[in-house]
Amino acid sequence: MILRNKIDKVLGTVLAIIMAVMVVNVLWQVFTRFVVGSPSSFTDELARYLMIWVGVLGAAYISGKRMHVAIDILPTRLNKKGQLRLKTISNSIIILFCFFAMIIGGLRLVYITFTLEQYSPALQIPLAVVYLVIPISGVLIMYYKVSDILNKQ
């Protein structure tokens, strides 16, 4: 649990920093567009990429905090043992999805965009950096779900 709390704290801090950068970025965009009269060329793209990172890392954070949206009609009708089994099955399915879709699929996406040397138009950063959030988030979600299964939560 100590490691989980540290990961939660670091992830929460990273998300707060990304949000702060995004707010400053959008304020700069508004300022340059309406006050200066010449909109900044990179702000739209940066806001888009930061939003991707916030969304995907935020999903991992919420998964770790067990605050994700869930339909709880079935679990409420089961006894404690049945609820524990259902949570274990549900977490196992999430682990499989994260492994195959987010980690393996995400790493393939990162590898392909890195190999093809795809760069963003305005920022000229490798798109592999933008897509790297997918396998990172997959690893985090897998860690949280394995931890939930081991701690029987």
Report in angstroms the alpha-carbon separations of 58 from 17, 27, 52, 97, 106: 12, 22, 10, 17, 17
CB within 8 A of 125, min separation 6: which ones? 119
Give me the mean pLDDT over the 40-55 stretch.
95
Q: What is the pTM of this model?
A: 0.92
Give me the mean pLDDT over the 59-74 stretch.
89
Sign, CA dihedral 96-66-16-46, equals: positive
Q: Between these two residues, 9 and 76, which has the higher pLDDT value?
A: 9
pLDDT tens digits, one per residue of 74-117: 888 999 999 999 999 999 999 999 999 999 999 999 999 999 99
CB within 8 A of 59, min separation 6: which ones? 68, 137, 141
